[in-house]
Amino acid sequence: MIPKIQYTKSGNLSIAYQVFGSGPIDLVYIPGWISNIDWMWACPELVDFFQELGKSVRIILFDKRGTGLSDRIVELSTLEERMEDIKAVMDATNSKKAILFGHSEGGSVSALFSATYPNRVIALITFGIFAKRRYSEDYPWAPTDEERQKVYDMIENDWGSGEMNLESLVPSKANDRQFMSWLASYFRSGASPRAAMKLTKMNTQVNIIDILEYIKVPTLLMQRTNDIDVKIEEGKFIAERINDAKFVEFDGNDHLFWAGNTREVLDEMKTFIRQLPPCDGCYKKRLSTILFGQIINASNFSVKSQELDDFIIQNGGTIISKEKKFFMAAFEVPSKAIASGINILNDLKAKGIPFSAGIYMKESAANHDDPLTKRDNYMIASILSLIKPNKILVTQAIKHLLSGVAFNFSKDTSILTYKTHQLCKLYHVTDTSNTEVKTSFPYGFSKYDSFLEDVIKIIDEHLDNNAFGVEMLTRETGVSERKLQRRIKDATGKSPSQLITFIRLNKAKTALLANSDTVAEIAFKYGFSSPSYFSKCFKKEFGVRPTEVAAMN
């Protein structure tokens, strides 16, 4: 019998869920890429897996926002919002604590939830998960940008058809027409092409490496040796960074846990669940986001004002300490800390009071009454020494978790991490909802597709490099210069070099309006070889000099 489809609210969105099983503890299944809980029951292999698992646990299934039977969304969903979806279905089913079972990209939000809300998690179980989805030298197993572009092209041109290359996800079922037909229908019913594209691009930006060390709940990671979609090395990489994690490698090449040697997977899960220690205590520490701020050269203003308290409390923050010119506050999630920091910055800026702030993540007591550690003092001192007035700097861990939010992150500088002395990038964060003019397409372009979106993203990543040009852009997009010229011209009416300059100028204009730096600093920051050349280009594009725009504030 198929369980009843029910709905609960996560914010203003309706999230679809089902509950079944007779086990004594709860398990929430966080699906991979795309799901449809109604269509799951049309796959005998998946039904058999869950019904057998349901003898050991009570299972909670749900479709994350934007997919399946849950409400569609216009913007990208963030990991934070998806954590809210998990909390919503747990609350709706009276589940105070549960095992989280995350598959593929569902593992990212499962891991973050386990670190952030450990007292709602009995254990973490994953299958075929990744820590990030973009190639880098320190994580060489992730897809390159060229490989991700092929996925975007597939979604744009072949969504739901026989050209999706779904066989790569389940090689053992490649010749099973009934299964492959169901899988294509499952994806089609789970998301429209546009929704699938948004979700895929959000996944491309996800990076949970920096939060793995904060996961303290019992953890089981499972993966198949020759999984094409997520390499076995990725699972081992993750397991090495989670304290006491158990890593189990299965033979086979299927990315889907309900294909191939499913009995072995099921037996491993049931054994792990059966051997879990009693979950009667609570974790004293959890992952938190710390916002600290400093008033600069303003003898007539103190951070002890009630207004500052209100900005923090409105976003769910807890004030840790306040001195005359300095304060610290803790938040459950990064976006709330950034929102508070920006509100405080804008309020003080309007009063003519210089202010700077930093944001980083740490493991702290649930009530935030633990004393500052040497790492805290090091992070605060290091970031404060680099912040310019009226700026907020965040660590790379913060930026990596906030793909899809209405914040703009621009690379600013770097520090060395405490003790390990690894490079930690710092980013200047601004609120794009207040500083950027919204148009039907970015920059008012008449056409916009995934290729142009990626071109703009690549340009954004090289804004401070005045040597960046058409040659580097061609290399990073993985297409010929001729094709690059044609596609950019068709979409924007500009040549690639004109587009690079155009984007640099628009970013510089936004910075000038925000009054974040001097004209000269902005010129170099956005890749212009000299302030005079910047001024000439700016006047040609906008009809005014940059100094005139800066004077508007």
Determine the average pLDDT of the residues in 184-191.
Answer: 92
CATH topology of domain 442-550: Arc Repressor Mutant, subunit A (1.10.10)
Whether pTM exceeds 0.85 = no
Domains 6-274 and 285-429 belong to one CATH topology: no
For the chain, helix, strand, coil in percent to 5 are 45, 20, 35
Residue with tokens 């769910």: 316
Instruction: Locate the domains of the chain by residue range.
Output: 6-274, 285-429, 442-550
pLDDT digits (tens, 9 = 90+) for 270-286: 999 999 988 766 788 89
CA dist 327 → 215, 340, 345, 506 (Å):
28, 12, 13, 34
Task: Please check the confidence at residue 498 and state whether its pLDDT lies above 80.
Answer: yes
The pLDDT score that the predictor gives to residue 433 is 60
Mean pLDDT: which of 143-157, 242-256, 414-428, 482-496 is highest? 242-256
What secondary structure letter does DSSP report for 259? S
- Give me the chain's average pLDDT, please: 88
CA distance between the termini of the chain: 65
Task: Please check the confidence at residue 312 and state whether its pLDDT lies above 70.
Answer: yes
Determine the average pLDDT of the residues in 105-114.
Answer: 95
Mean pLDDT: which of 197-201, 322-326, 342-346, 431-435 is highest? 342-346
Residue with tokens 């089913």: 93
pLDDT digits (tens, 9 = 90+) for 62-90: 999 999 999 987 666 788 999 999 999 99
Determine the average pLDDT of the residues in 298-316.
Answer: 74
Determine the average pLDDT of the residues in 434-457.
Answer: 61
Length of the chain: 553
Query: Strand 13-20 to strand 6-10: parallel, antiparallel, or no bridges (unpaired)?
Result: antiparallel
pLDDT digits (tens, 9 = 90+) for 7-55: 999 988 999 999 999 989 999 999 998 999 999 999 999 999 999 999 9
Q: Does domain 6-274 have CATH number 1.20.140.10?
A: no
The pLDDT score that the predictor gives to residue 431 is 81
The pLDDT score that the predictor gives to residue 265 is 98
Closest CA to 362 of 351, 348, 372, 352: 372
pLDDT digits (tens, 9 = 90+) for 387-444: 888 999 999 999 988 876 678 888 888 888 887 778 889 999 988 765 433 334 456 5
The pLDDT score that the predictor gives to residue 26 is 98
Q: Note the CATH architecture for domain 285-429.
A: 2-Layer Sandwich (3.30)
